[in-house]
Amino acid sequence: MGFTFQFILKLIATMFLSVILTPLLKLLSFKIGAVDRPDERRVNNKTMPTAGGLSIFISFTVAVLWEFNNTLDSQRVWPMLIAAFVIVLTGLMDDIYEITPAQKTLGIILASLVVYFIGDIGIDTLSIPFVGSFQLDWLRLPMTLIWILAITNAVNLIDGLDGLACGVAVIALVTIGLTSYFFLPTNGVPLAIMIFSLVAAITGFFPYNFHPAAIYLGDTGALFLGFMISVFSLQGLKNATFISVLTPMFILGVPITDTVYAMLRRYFNKKPISSADKMHLHHRLLSLGFTHRGAVLTIYALAMVFAMIALLMNYASAWAIVLLVISTLFGLELFIELIGLVGENRQPLMRTLKFVGNRRYRQNVLKKTKHKNKHEKK
């Protein structure tokens, strides 16, 4: 009870530290040129400061060092903080100088190598139901790098509206924290402490970032949040099972969905995968008439649905999980086609459903016609 009360006080202190730092970092952003100027791809119509992620990073770092000052695990905490610093530095360079995608990727890979080699964070084995368990061996490093790169970039891509990435990150982190606390057999409590410390730091920043935003996360914050979420989710994947892999994928369903369909959209339109466009999930909702806040709240709701499904998976049987995944993918594809995320003319599922419906309708009409003609003959 005493530990819980002290921890809550530390979370409140972390939140207030973030509240105090954010206005100062807003001024610093303008001083160092970390700003987002309006253009055809932006939704802002004035120059905005973009180094807000520094507030979250500093508050989180102070909270972690404060919490683990007596039992600082050099094998876990220090590599994570060093890697986070590399990520934040990479994002800050992009916010100031707009570095290339290749340079950003290099920064993410360097940070990933720190947590992999020094922190020993990675996927060792993979267990698939009805198939068996496999040692990844030489695949351990590439699988870990792909996971971190994919999640980090997915969260970065969704940072397109005021408060969007922050809100989705909080929903994902709270779900990962609960999953770690209740379902992770080892190191679950220390991991949950770090996760909720990050949630507290985001909470303090959030009022400045929600619409109308006074400061943006920038790549400084978006890359940092994506990286930390990917590393936290990896903690439960050392000996990965079907459920342990699916759980973080569903928790991060919104950014993963947006990224996957963005890649498909660019492939179909014969454009480079790294090219930018205004067809992301939040852009489509705005084009359909949603207000700025309405689009953000809709995506929050979608993220919460994914989070609830992820939590349910920890209680369901293998066959129930399969049915849950199939039904979720079916509903998701229908939603994606309705909003035109890949393109307004790319609706394979809806065309199939229309064809089946029209065919059934024609069959019913034909039966009624035959019955009517038969009745008239009599």
* Residue positions forming the annotated binding site: 156, 219
Q: Which two tokens stand for residue 256?
A: 């993963």
**Collapsed DSSP state (helix, strand, coil) of residue 56:** helix
What is the rounded (10 degree) CA torsion for 35, 39, 45, 46?
Answer: 30
Interatomic CA distance for residues 358 and 361, integer angstroms: 5
Q: Containing H/E element for 49?
A: strand 48-49
Compute the distance between CA of residue 151 and CA of residue 219 in angstroms, rounded to an integer.
14
Q: Give residue for tokens 């730092």.
A: 21
Q: How far apart are CA 150 and CA 292, in angstroms?
A: 27
Instruction: List Cα–Cα distances, 93 to 12, 149, 366, in angstroms.
Output: 30, 18, 68
Binding site for Mg(2+): what residues are annotated? 156, 219
Question: What's the one-letter identity of residue 13?
Answer: A
